[in-house]
Amino acid sequence: MKRKIPVGPLKGAGPFVLPEGFSLLGLDDTHQEFSTETRAIDRYSLRDHYDWSLGPGRYAFVYKSGGSVLGLLRLELFNDHVLVDLIARNKLFVESERVGTKLMRLAEDIARQTGRPEVRLESVETAVGFYDDKLGYEEYEQTYEDDEYGELTPKRKKIV
Ligand SMILES: CC(C)(COP(=O)(O)OP(=O)(O)OC[C@H]1O[C@@H](n2cnc3c(N)ncnc32)[C@H](O)[C@@H]1OP(=O)(O)O)[C@@H](O)C(=O)NCCC(=O)NCCS
């Protein structure tokens, strides 16, 4: 079942159609525990992600099952692309739902819904295989060293 969620007029987009299980990260969700087992990401809480999402053009979505937050997707809408600012699966739960794939499919679907022709992201070294082999992303700029996340590789995918 698909449903529409309201998005504030200042955000300049939406309402989005979200698949079952997805919603905007709400204040009520922010008390939940969330761990990615990646130190650079786990420095930030769900409340930090919620606060981030209050900025213009920014959205934080969660994928929930049985009331628990299993995945987080931070998106930023730019004129000519959607930036996946962060995706993360909650590793406090046993993986059984291909959460990362669901999150990326939503990012691509929102690019389609908002008429953006491209999805971009910066991949940490350990996730390059996930984006390239599983989801068809390609490098468009050279890998660089980030103080927080280590090697980051800019990647993109054209949305048709
Ligand atoms: C990267 C991440 C989002 C992937 O999510 P996930 O729910 O584990 O991925 P899925 O279950 O949807 O995996 C889909 C496929 O990709 C593979 N895959 C998952 N993570 C992978 C990785 N890091 N490298 C290569 N392949 C990977 C899976 O084995 C699966 O393969 P299959 O189709 O052959 O079965 C998750 O591991 C995560 O949250 N990591 C920590 C945070 C992080 O690094 N985020 C990315 C920042 S750029």
Residue 124: pLDDT over 90: yes
* Ligand 1 nearest atom to the CA of residue 84, by list position: 48
The answer to whether the CB of 42 is under 6 A from ligand 1 is no
As for how many domains the chain has, the answer is 1
**What percent of the chain stands above pLDDT 90?**
86
Q: Which domain holds residue 35?
A: 3-158
What beta strand segments (E) does the chain contain? Answer: 3-5, 16-18, 22-24, 58-65, 68-77, 82-89, 118-124, 138-139, 144-146, 150-158
Looking at ligand 1, which residue's alpha carbon is closest to its atom 4?
A: 100
Q: Give 55 or 7, the one with higher predicted confidence.
A: 55
The residue behind tokens 């004129």 is 79
Q: What is the CATH number of the domain that holds 68?
A: 3.40.630.30
Contacts of 98 (CB under 8 A, 6+ apart): none
- Mutation choice for ligand 1 from 38, 83, 89, 155, CB with most ligand atoms inside 8 A: 89
Alpha-helical (H) ranges within 7-152 are 39-42, 46-52, 99-113, 128-129
- Which stretches within the chain are classed as H helix? 39-42, 46-52, 99-113, 128-129
Query: pLDDT exceeding 70 applies to what percent of the chain?
Result: 91
34 has a pLDDT exceeding 70: yes
**pLDDT digit string, tens, across residues 69-119:** 999 999 999 999 999 999 999 999 988 889 999 999 999 999 999 999 999
pLDDT value of position 14: 59
Pocket test for ligand 1, best of 35, 122, 134 (most atoms within 8 A of CB): 134
